[in-house]
Structure 1
Amino acid sequence: MSDLMETVLIERTRELIPDDNVEQKKMFGSTCFMVNGNMLICASKRGLMARVGKDQEAEALSKPHATPCRPAGRPMPGFIRVEPEGIESDKDLKSWVDLARNYVCALPPKQAKPRKSKSGKARP
């Protein structure tokens, strides 16, 4: 997937997540969408990483173009990787976003961690 296609995927994904409490962050070398501080979806050149939760993982893995998420070779339970072919249509992308939202929106909000200054001390 090219940089342009990645940008388009990020825009398509953002349109499907209209909540005010959504934050866009650079993580994992990609763009992640967070809801109430919890990671929802990560869009990249490699496709999509969706947080579906352990209970929905088997169902998600039964879908075409879905594989377990294993960054750095370690499994990430509850996260699914979707190849670009599995999110070409808006309908397919929406189904992954909706599946992730069902799980993530039920999680309690995460508290923001205090940012550290260059001296290594937490800032107020």
Structure 2
Amino acid sequence: MAYNEQLSKRIEASLHYFPKDISEAITQKRMFGGIVFLYKGKMAIGVIKQDLMVRVISAKMDETMKKEAVRPMDFTKKPIKEYIYVGAKGIETEEELQFYIELGLEHALTKV
């Protein structure tokens, strides 16, 4: 199954609002049957099938898991540490999407 290209385009559009030093350091790579966005080579967010995939720092996992349409990333049938999926209902608005993009970038920034 192909990934949600419309969601990918929404992410690309949102990245233009970040400072140039951040937006220019973001690359894309096909992974997990979808597409991921990396900041300086560190995975931040992605689109897997119809879901947004987000890396989240450990300190924010419990709080984030309480949000609507969020579930653990279980790509291997077992939850993967510091990864979540967000379904369509959790990213209906650009503000909601922006929240998760920033969350993923926060994780990537801790890894560079």
TM-score > 0.5, shorter chain as reference: yes
Larger radius of gyration: 1
2:33 match: 29
Structure 2: gaps of 5 or more residues = 17-22
Q: TM-score, normalization: structure 2?
A: 0.85
1:13 match: 11
Conserved in 2, the CA contact under 8 Å of 1:49 and 1:82? yes
SS at structure 1 position matched to 2:76: helix
Could you report, residue by residue, the CA deviation over 1:64-115 in whole angstroms, capped at 9, with x for unpaired residues? Answer: 110111112122111111011111211111111111112212222xxxxxxx
Partners of 1:53 and 1:71 in 2: how far apart? 19
Q: Give the C-alpha shift of residue 53 in structure 1.
A: 2.0
Partners of 1:90 and 1:79 in 2: how far apart? 21
Q: Percent identity of the aligned residues?
A: 25
The answer to whether structure 1 residue 91 and structure 2 residue 89 are counterparts is: no
* CA root-mean-square deviation: 1.8
1:74 match: 78
The answer to whether structure 1 residue 58 and structure 2 residue 56 are counterparts is: no
Partners of 1:80 and 1:61 in 2: how far apart? 8
Residues matched between the structures, number: 106
1:117 match: none
Conserved in 2, the CA contact under 8 Å of 1:68 and 1:76? yes
